[in-house]
Structure 1
Amino acid sequence: MEDVTRSVLAEEILKRLDLENLCSVACVSTTLRSAVVSGVLPSLTSLDLSVFSPDEVTLNHVMRGCIGLRSLTLNCLRLNSSAVHGVLGPHLLELHLLRCSLLNSTVLTSIGSLCPNLRVLTLEVADMDSPVVFQSNLTKMLEGCPYLESLQLNIRGILVDATACQSVRFSLPQTLKALRLQPLLESEAILLMNRFKVTANHLSLADYSSLLSPSSPSFTLQSLSLVLDLISDRLIIAITGSLPQLVKLDLEDRPEKEPFPDNDLTYTGLQSLGYCQQLTSLSLVRTCYNRKISFKRINDMGIFLLSEACKGLESVKLGGFPKVSDAGFASLLHSCRNLKKFEVRGAFLLSDLAFHDVTGSSCSLQEVRLSTCPLITSEAVKKLGLCGNLELLDLGSCKSISDSCLSSVSALRKLTSLNLAGADVTDSGMLALGKSDVPITQLSLRGCRRISDRGISNLLNSEGTISRTLSTLDLGHMPGISDRAVHTITRYCKVLTELSLRSCFHVKDSSIESLATRERQAEGGSSKQLRKLNVHNCVSLTTGALRWLSKPSFAGLHWLGLGQTRFAGRKETVTDTICRERPWLTLCFDGCELGCYDGWEFHTPQCH
C-alpha cells in the first residue's frame, strides 16, 4: 500500500513541481525525499538550471538522480571544466552551457568525445585560450558531434579574436539547420557561404529534389545568425546565393572604423535578399558603442526595395539606419501583411507619421520595439494602441512619450511587457495604468525622473490588474523613489520575482527590511519569493542592512547585485554572511544587470 501511495504521490503531485520546490519537498521527510529521488528525478527528460548558478557540489546533488536526461541547460557562471565534464554523456541530445566564465576550451573536446548524439548545442564561453588552441578543440568537438542540427557558439571577452571560429567551415556537420556564430570576420563568413555553395553544386540533379529532406546529403541551413566585423553587399550576396532556403537571417556588425563606400551595405545587398523566398525573419543591426558609425548608404529607397523583395517577412529588426525616414519604415509595415514583430533601434528620422495607418496595414503586430527613436511621441503610441494583438511594447529612450498615451496602452488587453524607460511620464500617468485591466508582467520605468513614490502607489494601489500580474519591475535611476515606494511594492506585488532599484539614491535599509518581511510571508504561501534583486549604487544603504540579507531572509534569492554600495568594501565578510548555506545564490559586485546576462565574461563571481 505504501508503494502505491508513493507512486501516486510522485505521478500526480511531485512531477508537477519545479526543481526548487522538489528540493524543498525532499527536506520535509525521508518518505518525501525517497519519493523525489526514486520517483521523480529518474523520470526527468529535460532539466533547466539557467535561472541560478549552482556550484559543483549543488550540481552533483541534483544530477545524481537524473539518469534519464535528454536535454540539459546549465548556468556555468561558477562551474569549472571538471564540473561540466562530470554531467556529459551519450544520453544527451540537447545541451546548453551558458555564461561559462571559468571554462577553458578543453570542455569542447570533452563534449565531442562524450556527447556523440547531440542534436542541439549552445555554448557561451569566455576567451581563456589562444585562438590556435581554441580552433583545435572546436574542430575536435564538431568532428565528434556528427548529428548536430543546431549550433550556437558565442565567444566573449576583452581579448576575443574574431579568427577563433575560422576552422568551423571545415568541420560543420551537414545535418545542421540552425547556426549562430559570434564573433566572425566578414571574410571568413563569405568563405563559409562558399563552402555551402560548393557542397550544393556537387549534387546531381536528382539530389535537388530531396534538398528539403532531413536525409539530404547537403546543407539545408534554415536559420543563420552571425555577429561580424562588417556587413557588406558581398556578404549578403554570398548568403543568398548559397542558402536560398533560409527562413531566418540575423546579422549584426561592430565595425571599428567607417567602412569604405565600396565595401559597405547598399541597395544591392538589400535587394538580393529577395532570392530567399522563404525568409520570414530578418535582423540587420550595426552596433557601434561610442562611435558614430552606421549604415550611411541606405535611405528610404533601400528599404523600399527590401519591402518589395521580402513581402513574406513576419519579423523585422533594423538598427543603425539613421537616413531612413517614415516613408521607408511605413513601406515595411504596409508591404509585409503578416508582420508580427517590428523592431527599430536608433532611427532618428522615424516619427509618428510611420504609424498613421498602422491598423489598416499591420493589425497582426504582436511585438513592437522602438528604442532610441527621439521623434516618436504619444501620438504613435495611440495608433499602436489600436493593435489589439499587441503583447510587447518597448519604447525605451523615447523621451517624448508622455501621460497622454497611457490610456491607450491600458486598452491593450493582451499586453504583458511594457518598457517606458526614459519616458516623460508622471505620477498621474501611473494612475491610468494602475486602474486598467492590462495584464502586464514585465514593466520598466528606468530613468523616469518625474515618477515619485506617489506614482508607484498610483500604479499598484488602484484596484487594477497590474498588482496581481507584475513579476519583473525596473525602477533604476529614478531619483523620486525612496523607501515608501518599496513598502508599497512589498504590500501589493504578490507575484514579483525580479526587482531592480539600481542607482536609487534614497533607498535605505528600511527597504531591505521591508523586502525581507515580504519574503517571510512568501514562505507561508501568500506570495512568490523574490529571485533577483539589484541594489547596485544605492549609496544610502549601510552595512546594517546585512542582517536582513542574511539567512533566513530571502530564502528564494538566486541573484543579488551589490556593486558600488558600502557592501562592496567588505566583499569577503558580506559573501560569507549572505551566502552561508545558500550555495545557489550569486553575488555580483561588478555592476551587471539582473542575472549577469550581459557582462559575465568580465568578472568572476564570488566564491562561497
Structure 2
Amino acid sequence: MTIRSELISFRTLNLMFDVSTFLRHNFARAWTLASDKLTSLEIGYISSVMVTELLSPTPGPSQFLQQEQPPILPNLQKLCLSVDYITDTMINTISQNLTSLTHLDLRDAPIIEPRVTFDLTNNGLQKINQNGKLKHLSLVRSQEFLITYFRRVNDLGILLMADLCASMESISLGGFCRVTDTGFRAIIHSCTNLYKIKISHGTQLTDLVFLDISATPLSLTHVGLRWCNLLTNLAITHLASNLDLTVLDLRDCRSLGDDTLIAISSLPKLKSLLVDGSDISDTGISHLRERAASSLVSLSVRGCKRLTDKCITALFSSTSKPVLQELDLSNLPNLSDNGVLLLAKSRVPICELRMRQCPLIGDTSVMALASMQVDDERWHGNCLRLLDLYNCGRITALSFRWLKKPYFPRLKWLGVTGSVNRDMMDALARSRPYLHVAGRGEELGTGQWDHADGFYIHDYEEMDELERYILEGDDVVSDEEMAEAEDNEEFED
C-alpha cells in the first residue's frame, strides 16, 4: 500500500517511520491528493526541508499556466513532527499555510550544532500563531545525539511570542538555555488560559518565576519542570497553590527534597507524580501516603538514592486501600527483596511495576509478586500487566520458573536482561505468545512523544492469557518448551 492511497480519505494519519527515505519531490506531490477532511497528522521523522516542500510544493510544468493552487491540508488542526532541525523557515511555512492549526508539536534532535540558517531564532518565534487559533504549542530540542540548545533564542523572542499567544492553553518548551525568569514569567502572566506548562532543560529557570503565581488567574492542571536544577523546594511550595494540579513532573530537579513532598501532599486531585533523581527520603515519602490512598495513580521515584525498603511501609498504610496503579522504583541501590515482600503484603493493586537497575532485587522478589493476591482473587499476580526487571543484580534462572503459567496471567510486558539465561527467555516468549518480552534494556510502554510527561495509563487492547483462559476454559499455550529450557539450564549448571 502506497502513501498516496493512504492520503485520500483519512481524518487522522500517523506515519511513525522515517519519511525522509522517500524522494522529496514525489513525497511533496503526493500530499496534493490528501483529503480536505484530514485534521490530525503525526510523522515519526521528516527533515525540515521536506516539511517546507510538503506545505508549498513546486508546481509541475503543466501547472504554471493554471490559477492559484488550492492550499495543502486546509483543515489540519493538529500537527506533530519529529525533525532534524526546527528552523525559522519551517515555522514560517507552517504558520502561513496551515491556517486552521490549533495544535503544533515540534521536536528536533540535531546531530551537529545547527547553523543560523537551520535554527530557530527570535525572528522565528514571532511567526508562531499568526492566525491566532493556536491553543497548544510544543517546541522541544532533544539532546538524544548532542548536548545542544536553542542558543539563538533569548527573553526577547519569548516576550514577542507571549504577546501572540495570550489565548494559549498548553505550552511546552525544551532546551531554551538563554531564556531567563523574565521570559518564563511573561508566559505565565500573559497566557491567562494556560492549564498546562512544561519546561525542560531550563538552565536559567529559578524559584522567582513561581513566587507570585498565586496572584495570577491561572488554574494549572499539568506542570512539567524537568532538568531545571536551579529550582528549590520554595518554587514547588508556591506552585502547589494551584489545587487543581493532577500531573506534576519534576524529574531530574536534583535540589528538591522532602519539603517538596510536604507541599505536594496538599494537592487533592494529584494523579501522576514524577520526582526522579530528587533528594527525597523515606521520611519525606510518607507525606504522600494520603494521596496514594485517595487520588495518586502513578508515582515515579526512579534514581532517588536515599530511598530504602522503608519507603514501601512509609507510602502504604495497612488501614486503607491505595489507588496507586503505576510505580517506578528503578535505579534504587538500597531497595532489596525485603521491600518487594512488603509491597506484596500490602496487596496494592499495581498494574505497572518498574524496578530496573536495582542491584539487590532478585528471585525472591519475583516469587513474592507471583504469589501476590489482590481482593481475594485466586489468580496469583493477577494485577500486573507490566514488570520491568532489566539488569536487576540477583535475578537467576529460578525467576523464569515463576514467570510461567499460571502466574502473572495478565502480564503483557516483561523486561529482563537478555544476555543472561537467553534460552529461558526465548522459551518464555514462545510459550506465552501474549507476553512481550524485552531483553535489550528498552523502556517498556513509552511512546516517541514521551507520554510519561503527562498522565498516561496503558490501553491494553490485546486479549491477555487470563481473558483467553476464561473464554475458552482451556490452556492456550504449552509448557513443553519452558520445561526443556529448564532442563538445559540445569544441565549446564
TM-score band, normalised by the shorter chain? 0.7 to 0.9
> Partner residue of 1:24?
none
Structural mapping, 1:23-422, within 5 Å = 109=1, 137-142=2-7, 146-155=8-17, 161=20, 163=22, 167-171=26-30, 172-195=34-57, 201-202=68-69, 219-361=74-216, 363-422=218-277
Q: 1:572 corresponds to which letter in structure 2? A: D
Query: Hey, what's the Cα distance between the residues in 2 that align with 1:163 and 1:296?
Result: 31
> Partner residue of 1:440?
296
Secondary structure of 1:545's aligned partner: helix
> Partner residue of 1:554?
408
> Partner residue of 1:18?
none
Identity rate of aligned residues, in percent? 33
Structural mapping, 1:594-605, within 5 Å = 594-595=444-445, 597=447
Unaligned runs of 5+ in 1: 1-108, 110-136, 204-210, 212-216, 600-606
1:248-295 per-residue CA deviation (whole Å, 9 max, x = no partner) reads 111111222222224421111111114130100001111132423211
CA shift in 2, pair 1:225/1:577, >3 Å:
closer
CA shift in 2, pair 1:242/1:404, >3 Å:
same
Query: Hey, what's the Cα distance between the residues in 2 that align with 1:263 and 1:552?
Result: 56
- 2:337 touches 2:362 (CA, 8 Å); kept in 1? yes
Moved over 6 A (4+): 196-200
Query: Hey, what's the Cα distance between the residues in 1 that align with 2:424 and 2:116?
Result: 57
> Partner residue of 2:473?
none
CA shift in 2, pair 1:330/1:291, >3 Å:
same
1:158-207 per-residue CA deviation (whole Å, 9 max, x = no partner) reads xx84546764432322321111222111111111222499999546xxxx
Question: Alpha-carbon deviation of 1:530?
Answer: 0.6
Query: Hey, what's the Cα distance between the residues in 2 that align with 1:409 and 1:520?
Result: 28
Q: 1:451 corresponds to which letter in structure 2? A: L
Q: 1:570 corresponds to which letter in structure 2? A: N
CA shift in 2, pair 1:520/1:299, >3 Å:
closer
- 1:412 touches 1:438 (CA, 8 Å); kept in 2? no
Correspondence for 1:487 among 316, 320, 341: 341
> Partner residue of 1:589?
439
Query: Hey, what's the Cα distance between the residues in 1 that align with 2:319 and 2:290?
Result: 6
- 2:294 touches 2:322 (CA, 8 Å); kept in 1? no
CA shift in 2, pair 1:426/1:162, >3 Å:
farther
Secondary structure of 2:126's aligned partner: helix
Q: 1:265 corresponds to which letter in structure 2? A: L
CA shift in 2, pair 1:358/1:520, >3 Å:
closer
CA shift in 2, pair 1:548/1:224, >3 Å:
same
Structure with the bigger percentage of helix: 1
- 2:17 touches 2:44 (CA, 8 Å); kept in 1? yes
Correspondence for 2:385 among 531, 536, 540: 531
- 2:370 touches 2:380 (CA, 8 Å); kept in 1? no
1:485-520 per-residue CA deviation (whole Å, 9 max, x = no partner) reads 111211224321110110111112111111011158
> Partner residue of 1:570?
421
Question: Alpha-carbon deviation of 1:347?
Answer: 0.8
> Partner residue of 2:452?
none
Question: Alpha-carbon deviation of 1:155?
Answer: 0.7
Query: Hey, what's the Cα distance between the residues in 2 that align with 1:483 and 1:369?
Result: 32
Alignment of 1:456 with 2:312, yes or no, is: yes
Question: Alpha-carbon deviation of 1:521?
Answer: 7.1
CA shift in 2, pair 1:416/1:201, >3 Å:
farther
> Partner residue of 2:462?
none
Which deviates more, 167-176 or 323-332?
167-176
- 1:592 touches 1:598 (CA, 8 Å); kept in 2? no
Query: Hey, what's the Cα distance between the residues in 1 that align with 2:318 and 2:241?
Result: 24
Secondary structure of 2:421's aligned partner: helix
CA shift in 2, pair 1:363/1:526, >3 Å:
farther
Query: Hey, what's the Cα distance between the residues in 1 that align with 2:375 and 2:98?
Result: 56
Query: Hey, what's the Cα distance between the residues in 1 that align with 2:185 and 2:318?
Result: 37
Q: 1:402 corresponds to which letter in structure 2? A: G
- 2:106 touches 2:138 (CA, 8 Å); kept in 1? yes
- 1:185 touches 1:229 (CA, 8 Å); kept in 2? yes
Q: 2:197 corresponds to which letter in structure 1? A: F
Query: Hey, what's the Cα distance between the residues in 2 that align with 1:578 and 1:285?
Result: 37
- 1:359 touches 1:383 (CA, 8 Å); kept in 2? yes
- 2:351 touches 2:386 (CA, 8 Å); kept in 1? yes
TM-score normalized by the length of structure 2: 0.83
Q: How many aligned residue pairs are there? A: 442
Q: 1:571 corresponds to which letter in structure 2? A: R
Query: Hey, what's the Cα distance between the residues in 1 that align with 2:49 and 2:339?
Result: 53
Query: Hey, what's the Cα distance between the residues in 2 that align with 1:260 and 1:476?
Result: 39
Secondary structure of 1:431's aligned partner: helix
Query: Hey, what's the Cα distance between the residues in 1 that align with 2:117 and 2:67?
Result: 29
- 2:411 touches 2:435 (CA, 8 Å); kept in 1? yes
Question: Alpha-carbon deviation of 1:404?
Answer: 1.0
Q: 2:83 corresponds to which letter in structure 1? A: L
- 2:169 touches 2:194 (CA, 8 Å); kept in 1? yes
1:314-346 per-residue CA deviation (whole Å, 9 max, x = no partner) reads 000111111111111111111111101100111
Secondary structure of 1:272's aligned partner: coil
Query: Hey, what's the Cα distance between the residues in 1 that align with 2:212 and 2:245?
Result: 16
Query: Hey, what's the Cα distance between the residues in 2 that align with 1:316 and 1:200?
Result: 39
Q: 2:227 corresponds to which letter in structure 1? A: T
Alignment of 1:501 with 2:322, yes or no, is: no
Query: Hey, what's the Cα distance between the residues in 2 that align with 1:540 and 1:240?
Result: 54
Query: Hey, what's the Cα distance between the residues in 1 that align with 2:129 and 2:429?
Result: 56
Which deviates more, 218-227 or 341-350?
218-227
Query: Hey, what's the Cα distance between the residues in 1 that align with 2:180 and 2:294?
Result: 32
Question: Alpha-carbon deviation of 1:308?
Answer: 0.6
CA shift in 2, pair 1:229/1:473, >3 Å:
same
Which deviates more, 586-595 or 435-444?
435-444
Query: Hey, what's the Cα distance between the residues in 1 that align with 2:336 and 2:24?
Result: 48
Q: 1:170 corresponds to which letter in structure 2? A: R
Q: 2:148 corresponds to which letter in structure 1? A: I
Query: Hey, what's the Cα distance between the residues in 1 that align with 2:76 and 2:448?
Result: 28
> Partner residue of 1:518?
372
CA shift in 2, pair 1:474/1:196, >3 Å:
farther
Query: Hey, what's the Cα distance between the residues in 2 that align with 1:555 and 1:521?
Result: 16
Q: 1:397 corresponds to which letter in structure 2? A: D
CA shift in 2, pair 1:435/1:219, >3 Å:
closer
